[in-house]
Structure 1
Amino acid sequence: MLTCSKYHFEEKVLEKLIRLEHKMEIFNEKMKIWKDSISTKLSQFEDKMDSYDETTKHFKIQINNKIDIFEEQMSNMSQSLTSYSQQLKEAEQTRDNLIVQQREDFSKMMAKNDVIAFSAYRSLSQSLSTGTVVNFDKVWTNIGNGYNPNIGIFIAPRSGLYHFTSVVMSESKALYLRLFHNGAKISSSYMDGGFKTGLFDVLLSLEKRDTVSIKSTGTYTVHSSGGNYISFSGYIIK
């Protein structure tokens, strides 16, 4: 009975050992599979890391190349802008020189031709008080720039004999004007109202910088409109 039990026990132990060995084999097989899987995944990961490193390296190379290209383009643009700026400065200098030359040529031509002449007018009425200059503020002709339309006064560019004429017009009330050479009264024109015209026509011997103007003797209104009814003209005779 004891012998049988011992045999049975050993058989059971052996059976368990066999089962354990089988489980160990299964475990080892699973471990091998797991190890292979881990190894494969590690290999794949390493491949991906290598690919990532390669991609990163390639990306860095592309970025650096683009930066180099951009810097080269910026350098070229800067050089082009510098060149254009220089060309613009040269063009402006050429233009300025041409303007100066044209002015000099014009001045020489005018001095050679010896022409001084102007003709100006007003397109609107002007209210006057004693001593107010009638300002013919619009210019048809101003050769020699002797007439100043901002103040209505002719300033002789040079000495000579000049001829001056002027047409003026009153409104409903009277108008009394005088033509002055410097501060001297030269000629007068009186209109007793009702849109009448008055005339000035004089020859004056002027020195350089002498002035000629038409002034009011009191509180009046000189008439004009879009018809340009009043004018002031003059020119050098010799």
Structure 2
Amino acid sequence: MGYELFAFAIVVALMAIYVYNNERRMGEMIYKLDQTAQLQQVLHFVDTKFSEIEKKTRTKLEEAENRHKLTTDHLQKHIDDITKLSPSIVTFLARLVSPAYGAIAAKATVKFEAIKENIGNGYNSGTGIFTAPTKGLYHFTASARQSRSGYLHLGMFRNGEEMAVSVALNYNSLTIGTTFTLQSGDRVYVKNIWSRASGIVGGGQTYFSGSLLHKM
């Protein structure tokens, strides 16, 4: 009887140890499952946030590209509008009428007052100055006669810069012809470059002309 109780006690102890070990392993498995679930939740949260950031970034980039395209299109349209407004044909011809036989003051601009042609409205007879309405390559010509003995010194200027000069002596004629580029708004005129008055013939025999050769 004593031996059977001892054997029974051993069996009970072994069963208790077995149950304890199984419960411990079950607890560890459950803990690991919980940890895995939490990790999956964290990964899902990170993936969701990354997708949101990626979507917002893509939206911002698309908005920036659209703004850039609108700005570029607007600038191009503005350039096209300016190009359309700028005349493609520019030419003028003006003659000196008065005095028929007289003089031009020292360092004075010659005012060719009789306009024969002025396509593009660049020439101003009140000032004797041609103002370029558009950027391009231009050709200009001026011709004049000396009305008395002595010298007639005329120069052609671009914004105060002397571009070409010619001299006439004792009732003879001079001619200036030159080609150069102008920006829109540049000014061209003919001027007495001598430090004293010079004789000049009007009556339509002295003229100033210019034309746009190539628009740039």
The verdict on a shared fold, with TM-score over 0.5 as the criterion, is: yes
Matching residue of 1:151 = 127
Pairwise CA distance, 1:112: 7.9
Aligned residue in 2 for 1:135: 111
Q: Partner of 2:91 in structure 1?
A: 117
Identical columns (%): 28
Deviations 1:142-171 (A, max 9, x none): 011000000100000111000101111111
Task: Supply the AA of the counterpart residue of 2:160.
Answer: G
Contact 1:223–1:229 (Cα < 8 Å) also in 2: no
Aligned-residue offset at 1:225 = 4.0
- Give 1 or 2: higher strand fraction: 2
Distance in 2 of aligned mates of 1:222 and 1:118: 25
1:233 is the counterpart of 2:194: no
**Where does residue 66 of structure 2 map in the other structure?**
none
1:180 corresponds to which residue? 157
Measure, in 2, the Cα distance between the counterparts of 1:138 and 1:111: 27
Match of 1:203 in 2: 179
- How big is the shift at 1:222? 4.2
- Aligned residues: CA RMSD: 2.0
Alpha-carbon distance in 1 for matches of 2:161, 2:89: 26
Q: Name the stretch that deviates more: 112-121 or 176-185.
A: 112-121
Within 1, Cα distance between the matches of 2:136 and 2:86?
15
Shift of 1:174: 1.4
| 8 Å contact from structure 1 (residues 124, 223) kept in 2 | no
Structure 2 CA distance for partners of 1:188 and 1:143, relative to 1, 3 Å: same
- Structure 2's unaligned 5+ residue stretches are 1-81
Residues 116 and 236 in structure 1, CA contact (< 8 A), matched pair in contact too = yes
Where does residue 223 of structure 1 map in the other structure? 200
Compare the two structures and name the one with the higher helix fraction.
Answer: 1
Give the C-alpha shift of residue 137 in structure 1. Answer: 0.7
Shift in Å, 1:177: 1.2
Please give the TM-score of this superposition, normalised by the length of structure 2. 0.55
- 2-structure distance, mates of 1:146, 1:199: 22
Tell me, in whole angstroms, the C-alpha distance in 1 between the residues paired with 2:166 and 2:208: 14
How far did residue 192 of structure 1 move? 1.8
Of residues 122-131 and 209-218 in structure 1, the stretch that sits farther from structure 2 once superposed is 122-131
CA offsets per residue over residues 161-216 of structure 1, 9 Å max, x none?
A: 001011111111211111111111111111122x1110010001000110111111
Residues in 2 aligned to 1:128 and 1:177: alpha-carbon distance in whole angstroms:
10
Indicate if the aligned counterparts of 1:165 and 1:233 stay in contact, CA closer than 8 A. Answer: yes
Structure with the bigger RCO (C-alpha within 8 Å, sep 6+) is 2
